[in-house]
Amino acid sequence: MQEERRLAVLRAIVEDYVATEEPVGSRALVERHRLGVSPATVRNDMAALEDEGYITQPHTSAGRVPTDKGYRLFVDRLSTVKPMSTAERRAISTFLDGAVDLDDVVQRSVRVLSQLTRQVAVVQYPTLSRSTVRHVELVPLAPARLLAVLILSTGRVEQRVVELGRDLTDEDLAGLRTRVNRAATGQVIADAATALRAMVPEPTPGAGADDGAQDGRNDDGGVTAAVVDTLVEAMVDHRSDERIAVGGAANLARYGDSFDSAVRPLLEALEEHVVLLKLLGEASTGGAVTVRIGAEGPYEQFASTSVVATGYGPRDQALATLGIVGPTRMDYPGTMAAVRAVARYVSRILDEG
């Protein structure tokens, strides 16, 4: 009973401090919250919380503010992540549903997340190595030329023109399309590439240019090899897996001097994508939202910063991470709800794409 009451006092202190940015006193707690106990009891509970390191007194005669340990207990004891309002959910859905491709999805996600939380939003582009092949289409352009279209679970689409070296009948093309999809569809990139390479026939002993197979393979093998080589090349990520989008940096200005110790290193970090990716951490599966508070993070210079992040991807595959970076004095329930909601919408879009 006493522990639950002290947790209620801590929760009230966190909520008031986040809302007002002012140290919280016992009188304010009694006036603003229905704690059901006397001011003297609240003072005793605050003293106990301070002794245990959950709150601290920044100045003599001042009220109390939460410590990192206090924020951690507050977050850990949240029974549920508060749901987004109907208006917020509609806004997310309307904004993201208008995206036309993967780049647009990522950029829109950053914007809506920074607007909802009033923090710096960071969205990692889906990591190619974790994605799977959704479908391969081979479209005839001419008798000896076709367009190979590679569609991945990330929503990424790669197109390559393949010069075959000889004419290909509709029947041969249909058979090749079936074999390619049987080998690659549903496979992660590395396994798909291996399976595709296995489709290429071994060189025919003694075969040469006079046989019409200049690379030592029969004619069919030459066609298969040309298509396979093109598809495997398309699977190579020419863009770094460390590519991210950042939005809402202007939100840092509203913290002023109270966040000065973290604003400068955070602004510098916005230029270092590797640092931001490490701040976000590994993509979490199953819709779990992770919260790292202050010194729990990987960098000492971000001791005044918290990170709320989660993984996203189709069919519960955590292909990448998105989240927000902000001061430890943040609305954790609201931020966690926004991060989770945006991740779910983005995952749904990739799943339907």
pLDDT, greater one: 98 or 145: 145
Which range, 2-16, 29-43, 87-101, is most confident?
2-16
Q: So what's the pLDDT on residue 286?
A: 65
The model's confidence at residue 211, banded by pLDDT at 50, 70 and 90, is: very low
Residue 61: C-alpha distances to residues 23, 26, 93, 197, 205 (Å):
10, 12, 48, 74, 91
Tens of pLDDT, residue by residue over 231-262, are 998 887 555 456 889 998 888 777 665 556 66
Q: So what's the pLDDT on residue 216?
A: 38
Asked if the model's pLDDT at residue 146 lies above 80, the reply is yes
How far is it, in rounded angstroms, from Cα 246 to Cα 250?
11
Lowest mean pLDDT among 53-62, 101-110, 276-285: 276-285
Q: So what's the pLDDT on residue 215?
A: 42
- pLDDT (average), residues 158-182: 90
Asked if the model's pLDDT at residue 68 lies above 90, the reply is yes
Q: So what's the pLDDT on residue 213?
A: 41
Q: So what's the pLDDT on residue 51?
A: 95
- pLDDT (average), residues 56-60: 83
Q: Name the phi and psi angles at 125, rounded to 5.
A: -65, 145
Percent residues over pLDDT 70 in the chain: 86
Tens of pLDDT, residue by residue over 272-302, are 777 888 888 876 666 789 999 988 888 887 8
The whole-chain average pLDDT of the chain stands at 83
- Residues 244/264, Cβ–Cβ less than 8 Å: no
Tokens found for residue 301: 């210079």
Q: How far is CA 34 from the centre of its chain?
A: 38
Structural domains of the chain, with CATH: 2-76 (1.10.10.10), 86-127+241-352 (3.30.450.40), 130-235 (3.30.390.60)
Residue 278: C-alpha distances to residues 16, 54, 260 (Å):
31, 27, 22
Asked if the model's pLDDT at residue 76 lies above 50, the reply is yes
Asked if the model's pLDDT at residue 182 lies above 90, the reply is yes
- Residues 93/345, Cβ–Cβ less than 8 Å: yes
Q: In what order do the strands lie in the sheet with 133-142?
A: 133-142, 145-152, 157-163
3-state secondary structure the chain: CHHHHHHHHHHHHHHHHHHHCCCECHHHHHHHCCCCCCHHHHHHHHHHHHHCCCEECCCCCCCEEECHHHHHHHHHCCCCCCCCCHHHHHHHHHHHHCCCCHHHHHHHHHHHHHHHHCCEEEEECCCHHHCEEEEEEEEEEECCEEEEEEEECCCCEEEEEEECCCCCCHHHHHHHHHHHHHHHCCCEHHHHHHHHHCCCCCCCCCCCHHHCCCCCCCHHHHHHHHHHHHHHHHHCCCCCCCCEEEECHHHHHHHHHHHHHHHHHHHHHCCCHHHHHHHHCCCCCCCCEEEEEHHHCCCHHHCCEEEEEEEECHHHCCCEEEEEEEECCCCHHHHHHHHHHHHHHHHHHHHHC
Give the torsion through C-alpha atoms of 301, 303, 308, 310, to 10 deg. 50
Which range, 46-50, 300-304, 312-316, is most confident?
46-50
Q: Which of 93, 88, 85 is nearest to 348 (CA)?
A: 93
Q: So what's the pLDDT on residue 205?
A: 58
